[in-house]
Amino acid sequence: MLASLKITSEAFKHNSFIPSKYTCEGENINPSLIISGLPMHTKTLVLIVEDLDGPKGSVVHWIVWNIPPTNKILANSVPGEQGINDFRKRKYQGPCPSSGVHRYAFKVYALDNFINLDSKATRAELQPLLEEHAIGYGEIIGLYQQRS
Give the fold, CATH level 3, of 3-144: Phosphatidylethanolamine-binding Protein (3.90.280)
pLDDT band at 147 (very low <50, low <70, confident <90, very high): confident
Annotate 18-56 with b (16+ C-beta within 10 A) or e (fewer): bebebbeeeebebbbbebeebbeebbbbbbbbbbeeeee
pLDDT digits (tens, 9 = 90+) for 80-119: 999 999 999 999 999 999 899 999 999 999 999 999 999 9
Q: What pTM was computed for the model?
A: 0.97
Say yes or no to pLDDT of 148 above 80. no
Q: What is the mean pLDDT of the chain?
A: 97
> For the residues 125-132, what does the mean pLDDT come to?
97
CB neighbours (10 Å) of residue 148?
3
Per-residue model confidence (pLDDT) at position 1: 83
| Amino acid found at 83 | G
